[in-house]
Chains A and B, each alone.
Chain A
Amino acid sequence: MTISVNGQAHDAEPRPGQCLRTYLREQGSVEVKKGCDAGDCGACTVLVDEMPTHSCIFPAARAVGRDVTTVAGLGSPDHLHPVQRQFVEAAGFQCGFCTAGMVVTASTLAGVGSDDLPRVMKGNLCRCTGYRSIRDAIAGRVNTASPSAGEAYGSSVAAPAGARVVTGREHYALDGFGALDEPVTGLLHLKVLGSPHAHARVAAIDVSRAAALEGVHLVLTHRDVPDVLFSTGRHEDRLDDPDDTRIIDPVLRFRGQRVAVVVADTVAIAEEACRLVDVTYEVLPAVFDAHEARVAGAPLLHGDKDPLHSRISEPGRNVVAQMHDEHGDVTAALEAADAVVSGTWQTARVTHAALETHGARAWIAGDGSLVVRTSSQVPFLVRAELARLLDLPVEQVRVVVGRVGGGFGGKQELIVEDLVALATLRLGRPVQHELTREDQFTIVPCRHPMTVSVTLGATADGTLTALQLDVVTDTGAYGNHGPGVMFHGCHESVAVYRCDNKRVDAEAVYTNNLPSGAFRGYGLGQVIFAIESAMDELARALAIDPFELRRRNVIVPGDPMIVTAVEEGDLTYGSYGLDQCLDLVESALGSGRGEVAPDGWAVGTGSALAMIATVPPRGHFSHVTVSVTTDGTYSVDVGTAEFGNGTTTVHVQLVAQELGTTPDRVRVRQSDTATSGYDTGAYGSTGSVVAGKAVHVAAERLRSDLLARAGRRAGVAAGHCVLGPDGVEVPGGRVLAFGELFEEQISATGSHDGTPRSIAFNVHGFRVAVEPSTGEVRILQSVQAVDAGVVINPEQLRGQVEGGTAQGIGSALYEEMTLRDGEVLTRTFRDYRVPQMADVPTTEVLFADTVDALGPRGAKSMSEAPYNPVAPALANAIRDAVGVRPHELPMSRDRLWRMLNP
Chain B
Amino acid sequence: MDLNTVTTLRTARTRDDLRLEPGETVLAGGTWLFSEPQLEVSGLVDLTTMGWEPWTIHDGGLSIAATCTIAQLLEPPAPPDWAAAHLFRECAEAFLMSFKIWNTATVGGNLCLALPAGAMISLATALDAVAVIWTPDGGERREPVATFVHGVQSTSLQPGEVLRSIELSTAALRARAAFRKTALTPLGRSSSVVTGRLDLDGRLTLGVTAATPRPHVFHFGHPPTDDEVQRAIATVDAWYDDAHGAPDWRAAVTLGLAYEVCEELRS
A118 to B188, CA, bound (A): 11
Cβ-defined contact, A39 with B2, below 8 A: no
- A901 touching B252 in the complex, CB below 8 Å, given contacts A16-B7, A39-B31, A893-B245: yes
Which residue of A19, A123, A892 is within 8 Å of B1 (Cβ)? A19
B 23-64 contacts with A by CB, 8 A: 27, 30-32, 34-36, 39, 41, 43-44, 46, 48
B243 within 8 A of partner (CB): yes
Min C-beta distance of A134 to chain B, whole Å? 14
Which residue of A16, A40, A53, A897 is within 8 Å of B6 (Cβ)? A16
A460 within 8 A of partner (CB): no
Cβ-defined contact, B103 with A15, below 8 A: no
Min C-beta distance of B74 to chain A, whole Å? 14
A832 to B96, CA, bound (A): 12
Residue in B closest to A901 when the chains form the complex, CB atoms: B252
B200 within 8 A of partner (CB): no
Which residue of B9, B35, B98, B186 is within 8 Å of A16 (Cβ)? B9
Cβ-defined contact, A774 with B4, below 8 A: no
B78 within 8 A of partner (CB): no
Cβ-defined contact, A831 with B243, below 8 A: yes
Min C-beta distance of A272 to chain B, whole Å? 7
A18 within 8 A of partner (CB): yes
- Among A3-11, A615-623, A833-841, which stretch is in contact with chain B? A833-841
Cβ-defined contact, B97 with A892, below 8 A: no
Min C-beta distance of A259 to chain B, whole Å? 17
- Among A54-62, A483-491, A600-608, which stretch is in contact with chain B? A54-62
Cβ-defined contact, B186 with A39, below 8 A: no
**A118-153 toward B: CB 8 Å interface, digit per residue (1/0)?**
111111100000000000000000000000000000
Cβ-defined contact, B2 with A773, below 8 A: no
A17 to B30, CA, bound (A): 11
Cβ-defined contact, A16 with B31, below 8 A: no
A 97-116 contacts with B by CB, 8 A: 105
Min C-beta distance of B70 to chain A, whole Å? 12
Cβ-defined contact, A57 with B245, below 8 A: no
A828 to B32, CA, bound (A): 12
- A19 touching B249 in the complex, CB below 8 Å, given contacts A119-B98, A119-B187, A826-B243: no
B104 within 8 A of partner (CB): yes
Which residue of A19, A61, A105, A775 is within 8 Å of B100 (Cβ)? A105
B185 within 8 A of partner (CB): yes
Min C-beta distance of A41 to chain B, whole Å? 10
Which residue of A22, A39, A892 is within 8 Å of B35 (Cβ)? A39
Cβ-defined contact, A61 with B9, below 8 A: yes
Cβ-defined contact, A838 with B185, below 8 A: yes
Cβ-defined contact, A16 with B185, below 8 A: no
The total of chain A residues at the interface (CB under 8 A) is 62
- Determine the chain B residues whose CB is within 8 A of the CB of A16 once the complex forms: 6-9, 43-44
- Determine the chain A residues whose CB is within 8 A of the CB of B182 once the complex forms: 774, 776, 893
A808 within 8 A of partner (CB): no
A642 within 8 A of partner (CB): no
**A397-434 toward B: CB 8 Å interface, digit per residue (1/0)?**
00000000000000000000000000000000000000
A155 to B205, CA, bound (A): 61
B246 within 8 A of partner (CB): yes
- Determine the chain B residues whose CB is within 8 A of the CB of A118 once the complex forms: 186-187
A267 within 8 A of partner (CB): yes
Which residue of A18, A774, A894 is within 8 Å of B246 (Cβ)? A894
Cβ-defined contact, B2 with A825, below 8 A: no
A830 within 8 A of partner (CB): yes
Residue in B closest to A774 when the chains form the complex, CB atoms: B253
Cβ-defined contact, B36 with A38, below 8 A: yes
A 519-533 contacts with B by CB, 8 A: none
Cβ-defined contact, A57 with B187, below 8 A: no
Number of A-B residue pairs, CB cutoff 8 Å, is 163
Cβ-defined contact, A53 with B104, below 8 A: yes
A16 to B23, CA, bound (A): 14
- A39 touching B99 in the complex, CB below 8 Å, given contacts A894-B184, A894-B246: no
Cβ-defined contact, A898 with B98, below 8 A: no
Cβ-defined contact, A825 with B243, below 8 A: yes
B256 within 8 A of partner (CB): yes
B230 within 8 A of partner (CB): no
A358 to B187, CA, bound (A): 29
A 49-72 contacts with B by CB, 8 A: 51-54, 56-59, 61-62
- Determine the chain B residues whose CB is within 8 A of the CB of A53 once the complex forms: 100, 103-104
B189 within 8 A of partner (CB): yes
Cβ-defined contact, B97 with A818, below 8 A: no
Min C-beta distance of B47 to chain A, whole Å? 12
B3 within 8 A of partner (CB): yes
Cβ-defined contact, B184 with A893, below 8 A: yes
**A798-821 toward B: CB 8 Å interface, digit per residue (1/0)?**
000000000000000110101000
- Determine the chain B residues whose CB is within 8 A of the CB of A897 once the complex forms: 249, 252-253
B93 within 8 A of partner (CB): yes
- A898 touching B4 in the complex, CB below 8 Å, given contacts A826-B243, A830-B189, A832-B243: no
- Determine the chain A residues whose CB is within 8 A of the CB of B242 once the complex forms: 831
Interface residues of A (CB under 8 A from B): 15-19, 22, 37-40, 42, 45, 51-54, 56-59, 61-62, 105, 118-124, 267-268, 271-272, 275, 436, 773-776, 813-814, 816, 818, 825-826, 828, 830-833, 835-836, 838-839, 892-895, 897-898, 901
Apart from the given pairs A40-B97, A59-B9, A268-B2, 16 other A-B contacts in the complex at a CB distance below 8 Å = A16-B6, A16-B44, A17-B3, A18-B3, A45-B100, A54-B97, A57-B104, A123-B101, A267-B2, A825-B243, A830-B189, A831-B244, A839-B185, A892-B184, A893-B184, A898-B246
Pick 5 A–B contacts, CB within 8 A, sort by A: A17-B9, A39-B97, A54-B31, A62-B30, A831-B243
